[in-house]
Structure 1
């Protein structure tokens, strides 16, 4: 199993370090941290970021509110399909896509891989189909997945994973890949855990947004990302509880589990440059 860490989106909201904690200019730098996993069953993509159709026709696919608020940078070099082709693969090599959730910045590239089976929690699709309210109607964009032909939906439960509920034996996927329900940001939000020879890797999606939220001491978040999490949450109590549980996991089981979120550029850089990022 070989794992590639990809950046499948670039968002530069006004606020600089008030969002990302490091930018010196007016705008911040947020990424869409996705994974491409080479397995003996074909390629598996964890989240997709933005897709080619988003780049080519953003206003017909995405909410003008989020285009402006996030200052999304539309460049094909950030798409998963472009990066996968640069690695020498084709769209048809991607057999499975596992989603943390269906937000516009996680599911935009689904239709770039028409033969792939898309795996997501049933509660997430239910939420995406029940689009009421200002944020909900703009975060879920059915234009991004209305041509998907193969879906697999899952319910929460199964043998626990480090005290978390887990969905094991995802249809057609290697047993090393699990869904870990982490409700709060959305109704069906989940992390994706991968068992590797170096230990577990957990893509926590949007269960947290900022690297220092997982610090052993002096946990903190930038004002901009704290406000964004508040704006996007659907269940504050569950979101905060799951953040606390992830923090405990990152501290207590640091030798067993490496975790990261979707949008922190510093985390992405660290994982992409680790020798263990290949997870051979």
Structure 2
């Protein structure tokens, strides 16, 4: 196989959550503000979106969307122009230009805008959509039944529990990283000048990656640690830059759209 590369990648600017840091990693305290980015990638064969962020309507009405109790605990911050569709439009595309949408998993803060892309091909990890409908009690609050139902008629492609090369050229490889949820996915993005490893929620903070601490409410902690270590090994082997979705330091170290990685 001749290896190819994606043309461009943008980290879409995003709303934030302000949460109790102890919910992100054992041993932390205080409140922490974390990003919720999505990533847009241009390839010869399509326009690919990795994660769709929080429900756009929740930016202005979090209690109306999620209920007062959950909204109070989330501390959603942002403006309407940070919704995923507005971010895509700001780059000169239409939402209908997006041909492939990859869900790292179906928690509300990663798939809230999925319904905006009814004509795209949609990808989820093995067991993710079933678990989203019948989650364990500790995880159930992360899934929104109405959010799941409004994408029920979409063109969903469930991965087989292994890595899948989206276009067969090594440029965009969906990585099976279960543990946080059954179908957690990462995405390896090979550009002409560098390779990124987008982690989804397989790990939440750089400190957790360094210490190999799993997330406090992972679906399967043993499997989650295996996936965390796998991220480290892949990054070492391929000299890839790890981009942890929720890590505020990673977001500060990199550049959001309209800056373009190529």
TM-score for the superposition, normalised by structure 2: 0.82
Q: Distance in 1 between matches of 2:204 and 2:191?
A: 24
CA RMSD of aligned residues (A): 2.9
Q: Distance in 2 between matches of 1:108 and 1:35?
A: 14
Q: Which residue in the other structure is 2:165 paired with?
A: 168
Does residue 86 of structure 1 match 2:96?
no
Q: Which residue in the other structure is 1:150 paired with?
A: 155
Q: Distance in 2 between matches of 1:188 and 1:258?
A: 23
Aligned length: 249
Q: CA deviation at 1:11?
A: 0.4
Q: CA deviation at 1:64?
A: 4.5
CA displacement 1:115-155 (0-9 Å, x = unmatched):
2221111311121121341x332111132242322211111
Alignment of 1:130-149 (within 5 A): 130-133=134-137, 135-148=138-151, 149=154
Q: 1:18 to 1:187 in 2, by over 3 A?
A: closer
CA displacement 1:59-102 (0-9 Å, x = unmatched):
45435544222222253132111111111221111121111100
Q: Which residue in the other structure is 1:8 paired with?
A: 14
Q: CA deviation at 1:264?
A: 1.0
Q: Which residue in the other structure is 2:74 paired with?
A: 70
TM-score for the superposition, normalised by structure 1: 0.78
Q: Distance in 2 between matches of 1:244 and 1:207?
A: 10
Q: Which residue in the other structure is 1:211 paired with?
A: 206
Q: 1:241 to 1:220 in 2, by over 3 A?
A: closer
Q: Which residue in the other structure is 2:3 paired with?
A: none
Q: Distance in 1 between matches of 2:142 and 2:209?
A: 26
User: Contact conserved, 2:35 with 2:247, CA < 8 A, in 1?
Assistant: yes
Query: Gaps (5+ residues) in structure 2?
Result: 1-6
Q: CA deviation at 1:273?
A: 6.7
Name the SS for the 1:29 alignment partner: strand
Q: Which residue in the other structure is 1:258 paired with?
A: 241
User: Contact conserved, 1:19 with 1:28, CA < 8 A, in 2?
Assistant: no
User: Contact conserved, 2:177 with 2:224, CA < 8 A, in 1?
Assistant: yes
Q: CA deviation at 1:210?
A: 1.1
